[in-house]
Every structure is written in C-alpha cells, then in structure tokens.
Structure 1
Amino acid sequence: MSIDPTAFLASVTAAPPVHHAPNSRYRDIPTAELTNPDGTSTVHLRRRFVPEPDLLATVGRVRVRDGDRIDTLAAEVFGDPTLFWRLADTGLEPRPAALTAEPGRVLRVTAAEGIPGGGGA
C-alpha cells in the first residue's frame, strides 16, 4: 500500500487546531504555521523544552516498588496518571518507563514549572 504524501498532508492540514487539556505537557506550547510549496498551510506545535530539573521545587520523593509503572506512580503522587510526564521531566528520562524499571529507585517529585522554590529545594 502506497501513501500519497500530498493527500496525507492535505488531510492533516484540514484538521482543526488542537486544544490541550490543562494537565497536558503541551498546554502552554504555542502553534506555528508552515506554508507548504503548494500554498496550503500546516499548523503544528512548536517544540516543547523540558524545564531544567534544578529549577523545579522539590515537594517530595517516591520510592519505586516492584511492579510500579510511571502512570500508577503519577496517580499516587499527583492524583492523575496522565501527569506521568512531570516525573519524567524531573528525571530527564527520555523513556519514562525506565524510571520504574529498578525497584528501590527514589524519584524526586516537584512542583509544576513556574512555582517558586527551585534550586533543588
């Protein structure tokens, strides 16, 4: 099966802009518009930069138990499993599942970006 790139782009650019939930890591990321060679435009999210972990205020720590997953830890810590990315950002781990691969590992829990008290506090 062959995919026509022009038709694919047309289907993507026809989609309405996405509005992200307040708990999304993309909630404050602005969009940009790219004009394609055929004159159509494509709206996309700008790059999301992971905050510097040392600037995030520490609010606690959580020890990984055997069988833990990053989403279940996020549910336990934040009350929302979709906030797993906050634990991953703090550990600068590109593969969030790796954070829970080793039972006994202690993960730093931080306040959301922009809340004062950083410096690894």
Structure 2
Amino acid sequence: MLPSVALLSLLAAAPCAVVATPTNPVKDVNPFIGKNYYANSHYSKELQETKAAFLKKGDVLNAARVTTVQRTGTFVWVSNVAGLSGIDTAIAEARRTRKQQMLQLVLYDLADRDCSAGDSA
C-alpha cells in the first residue's frame, strides 16, 4: 500500500497544464488590415499644384512626399448632392485598375447632421 501512497503523492506534486484548444479560431474583424486602397485621382490632381509649388522652390524632398501621397489610397469625399456622381466615377476608375482594392467613401454634411461642428465644437 505504501507504494500506492508514494505514487499518488508524486502525481499530486507533478505540475499539470491544461490547454484549451479553441474550436473556432478568432478572426480579426478589422476590414482594413491587409487590404489595398483606391488612390483617389481627383485628390491626386488637387495635389499637383502643391507639388509644383515645392518644385518651383527646389524642394525635391517634399515634392517626392506629395507624389507618395498621390499614390496612397484615400477616401472619396461626397459633401453635396452634386458630388454623388463622383462615387460612380471613382468606382469605374477603381475597376479599370483591375486591382483588388477597397474604395472608401466619406459622406459629409448629410441633411440634419451637424457636420459643421457647431454642436461638437
């Protein structure tokens, strides 16, 4: 009987590790991770003036930075009813690139919303 007590004591003293194996791995719900984004050509054209001003001053470094921003995915802003057609234009342009990318939209200054920040200032 003594060996049984010794064995039980040994087993009781042995470290135990319980590892729970997840049945369903948790997926990241952030839709922006690992995606490519549409580089808004309208915004890129607006930056041409800024780039030209840097080049006129001989500031090649900041002109290159503007070029980087021009190629970086940015949101398409829609701030009025007339701008709604810009959504179709952006979608068509994004499709022409034949890239898997996200087209991001900002619908700004919607009716009955305080987008001018009067209440939130």
Structure (1 or 2) with the greater strand fraction: 1
Instruction: Name the TM-score, length of structure 1 as normaliser.
Output: 0.22
Report which of the two has the higher share of helix.
2
Which structure has the larger Rg? 2
